Chains A and B, each alone.
Chain A
Amino acid sequence: MDLIFEGIKKAFSLLVSFDPEVLGITFLSLKVSGTATLISLFIGISVGASVALTRFPGRRIVVSLINTGMALPPVVVGLFVTISLWRNGPLGFMGILYTPLAMIIAQAVIATPIVTGITLAAVQQLPAKLRLQILALGATRLQMLWILIKEAKLSLLAAVMAGFGGVISEVGASIMVGGNIKGYSRVLTTATVMETGRGNFDVAIALSIILLLLAYLINLVLTQVQQRERRR
């Protein structure tokens, strides 16, 4: 019990004193996961909406691949991104392994299928005749796509939450491709793993509390937006 109590006490002192290392780790977590989520939104919404709106041979296989991708284990992503970025790997020439950029790539790979899958389901749920109505209003195909995405915005907010939630909390890929380098590629999850391993439970608890708070605050904001939209 003492261990936990002491941990919480230490955590609050770290938080209240704005410990520069903890702050740095927190900002990097936000930067990496935020950027990865943005990339995944761009790719996921475009791909998800396109697959939802088109019929092509093998579509079912593509949809089931996307759905499988939603449960992609981060360590598997970490492994393949590491191999790709390895010195003599296909993308080794970029020299970005063990950098925050590599972490962004890995996290974007994790979040993209989640966003794609949710977008696909959301756009498919819109009434089929809505597309006809939008075209009948004189829309180009691009305008139609944009209006449909706007119509599915509530579900797409869920995609943002799920995508961001998935990557801010993942540790396997980040540690593998980022290397958990102090002051450079250390994020909340990788730091928590390391501090726990060292027996520094107080710091680990502090980092966990920040992680939970962060996840909660971001979801709180998005939920507010979503619920306000629904009430309108």
Chain B
Amino acid sequence: MNTAPSPVFEARNLQVVRGGSLILNVPSLAVSEGEILVLIGPNGAGKSTLLQTFSALAKPSRGEILFRGKRIGADIPVLQYRRRLAMVLQEPLLFDTTVYNNVASGLKIRGMKRDEIEPVVAKALERFGIAHLRDRSARTLSGGEARRASIARAFATNPEVLLLDEPFSALDPIMRETLIEDLEHVLRETRITTIFVTHDRMEALRLATRLGVMNTGEILQTGSSDEVMNRPVNEFVASLVGVENLLHGKVAKKNEGSFIASVSGQDIEAKGPMESGDSVILCIRPENVSLSDVVSGNSVGTKNMFRASVVRITPMGPYQKVQLNCGFPLVTYVTGHALSALSIKEGTAVLASFDSTAVHVIKKGPPDDP
């Protein structure tokens, strides 16, 4: 009953070397049926190389890729494999013809008959809300419409695996939002196994059933969104998933199941089996830091609580980013309403607090020798 579903897709000891340097190194990665694996990473992290290698558009220097247990290029011919997946690249790359012909192109390539193509294309156009554009030239489409056409083209071939390479980059926020919403809907409905790469955290969280973080050609961590967001394995992952407070400190005192770390002379309580003297990085998501005014805030209780001065307030859309100095730097986000309710301005004194359970601890290494 509890057997894990066999992977649709598996990479083993995959390495890509270009110009003498290792640009992709994936010892192992498996993607299960129906899973939406979203890989986030900065530009140059190897995300596109990974997708191109997975889609057999680029040859790995070492290792192999298995599709439903068959080695690509050995047990299953590359062309046959490519025809079972679909890929959407960063740019829409539509052909200079009508929207209909664009969406039909993958099916024509597969030698499907005209009358069989028609209903499939009609459905794909409908699904992505571009049925009214079917006879329009692809050249005349707006950015958002072109993306829809390129995604519809990928879906029309009814792929077993969908590979998406930042398809929403360079779209304005409103278009992006509606397109993500539509894609999310279609992905949930069709349950197509998907690998999606992006550098946008919010996009990733919207779509992922599993989240991965990439940098310098390696997958640093994969797990549920909650796991990666709240329990990053290292400082890089932490900063990439939005943990803006990364405090370097040393364990000063060990308690039962928790410890006190000293950060810039301040004591911070956190949970975890650490030993005295351990060097640690305390990761605190800014949304887990609360602010209260100095007078009323004393009742907060067991939380880590610090007197802080407001260094800077930066508007960030619906929230205000508040940078604090508690002896160590701390960042939090509050609404504009909360800011005025607490009369917080740059220079004001406040109380900043966060629970010890909200602190994720990364152990840096063995205790330093005296």
A136 to B157, CA, bound (A): 11
Q: How far is the CB of B186 from chain A (nearest CB, A)?
A: 19
How many chain-A residues does the 8 Å CB contact rule pick out?
A: 18
Given contacts A129-B93, A151-B95, A232-B139, A138 and B110 within 8 Å (CB-CB): yes
Residues A139 and B93 in contact, CB atoms below 8 Å apart: no
- CB distance B95 to A138 under 8 Å? no
Tell me if B74 is interfacial: C-beta within 8 Å of chain A: no
Proximity bits, A121-133, B CB within 8 Å = 1, else 0: 0000001011011
B71 contacts A by Cβ under 8 Å: no
Closest B residue, CB atoms, query A144: B109
Determine if B106 and A132 form an interchain contact, defined as CB atoms under 8 angstroms apart: no
- Known: A147-B95, A151-B95. Is A138-B79 also a contact (CB below 8 A)? yes
Min CB distance A230 to B, Å, is 9
Q: Contact: A151 with B96, CB < 8 Å?
A: yes
A23 within 8 A of B: no
- B86 contacts which chain A residues (CB < 8 A)? 136-137
Give chain B's interface secondary structure class.
mixed
Does any Cβ of B come within 8 Å of A143's Cβ? Answer: yes
**B93 to A, closest residue via Cβ:** A133
C-alpha gap A132/B85 in the complex (Å): 13
B93 pairs with A138, CB closer than 8 A: no
Let me know if A140 is at the binding interface, CB within 8 A: yes
Whether B79 lies near A127 (C-beta < 8 A) is no
Rounded to whole angstroms, the CA-CA distance of A133 and B153 in the bound complex is 11
Known: A136-B57, A136-B82, A138-B109. A232 touches B93 (CB 8 A): no
Beta-carbon contact of A129 and B153 below 8 Å:
no
Give B52's nearest chain A residue, CB to CB: A132
A187 to B19, CA, bound (A): 57
* Docked-complex contact A137 and B57, CB < 8 angstroms: no
Whether B91 contacts A127 by the Cβ 8 Å rule is: yes
- Bound-state Cα–Cα, A190 to B331, Å: 86
Task: Quote the shortest CB–CB distance from B201 to chain A (angstroms).
Answer: 25
CB distance from B252 to the nearest CB of A (A): 54
Q: Which residues from chain A contact B213 at a C-beta distance below 8 Å?
A: none
How many Å lie between the Cα of A110 and that of B93 in the bound state? 35
List residues of chain A with CB within 8 A of the CB of B55: 136
Give the number of residue pairs across the A-B interface with Cβ within 8 Å.
Answer: 50
B-side interface residues, number (CB < 8 Å):
24
Quick one: which of B94-121 are within 8 Å of A by CB?
Answer: 95-96, 105-106, 109-110
Give the residues from 126 to 165 in chain A that come closer than 8 angstroms, CB to CB, to chain B. Answer: 127, 129-130, 132-133, 135-140, 143, 147, 150-151, 153
Q: Which residues of A contact B57 (CB under 8 A)?
A: 132, 135-136
Q: Is B157 a contact of A137 with CB atoms below 8 Å?
A: yes
Cβ–Cβ < 8 Å partners of B79 in chain A: 138, 140
Q: How far is the CA of A139 from the CA of B157 in the complex (A)?
A: 12
A127 touches B93 (CB 8 A): yes
Q: Once the chains bind, are A138 and B52 in contact (CB under 8 Å)? A: no
Return A147 CB to nearest CB of chain B, in Å.
7
CA distance A151 to B87 in the complex (A): 20
Closest residue of chain B to A229, judged by CB?
Answer: B96
Also in contact, A137 and B91, with CB within 8 A (given A132-B57, A232-B139): no
Given A127-B91, A151-B96, answer yes or no on A137-B153 (Cβ-Cβ < 8 Å).
Answer: yes
Chain B residues near A147 (CB, 8 Å)?
95, 105
A129 contacts which chain B residues (CB < 8 A)?
89-91, 93
Given contacts A137-B105, A138-B109, whether A130 and B83 have CB atoms under 8 Å apart is no
Q: Which B residues lie within 8 Å of A127 (CB)?
A: 91, 93
**In the bound complex, how far is the Cα of B90 from the Cα of A206, in angstroms?**
58
B137 beta carbon closer than 8 Å to chain A:
yes
Which chain B positions have C-beta within 8 A of A130?
A: 93
Which residues in A have their C-beta under 8 angstroms from that of B153? 137
Q: Are B95 and A143 in contact (CB under 8 A)?
A: no
Interface residues of B in 41-88 (CB under 8 A from A): 52, 55, 57, 79, 82-83, 85-87
Residues of B within 8 A of A139 (CB): 109
Q: Which residues of A contact B137 (CB under 8 A)?
A: 232
- Give, as a whole number of angstroms, the nearest-CB distance from B200 to chain A: 20
Nearest to A232 among chain B residues (CB) is B137
* A59-97 Cβ-contact flags toward B at 8 Å (1 or 0): 000000000000000000000000000000000000000
**B96 in contact with A137 (CB, 8 Å):** no
CB of B47, distance to nearest CB on chain A (Å): 14
- Given A132-B57, A138-B82, A138-B157: A143 in contact with B93 (beta carbons within 8 A): no
On chain A, the residues within 8 Å of B93 by CB distance are: 127, 129-130, 133
Given the complex of chains A and B, what is the CA–CA distance between A229 and B96 in angstroms? 9
Knowing A138-B79, A138-B82, A147-B95, the reply to whether A132 touches B110 (Cβ < 8 A) is no
Sample of 9 A–B contacts (CB below 8 Å): A132-B89, A133-B93, A137-B153, A137-B157, A138-B82, A147-B95, A147-B105, A150-B95, A232-B137
Known: A132-B57, A147-B95. 4 other contacts (CB 8 A): A137-B86, A138-B82, A138-B83, A139-B109
- Mark A residues whose CB is within 8 Å of B: 127, 129-130, 132-133, 135-140, 143, 147, 150-151, 153, 229, 232
Closest 8 interchain pairs by CB? Answer: A138-B83, A136-B87, A133-B93, A137-B106, A232-B137, A139-B109, A138-B109, A138-B82
Interface residues of chain B, those whose CB is within 8 Å of chain A, are: 52, 55, 57, 79, 82-83, 85-87, 89-91, 93, 95-96, 105-106, 109-110, 137, 139, 153, 157, 163
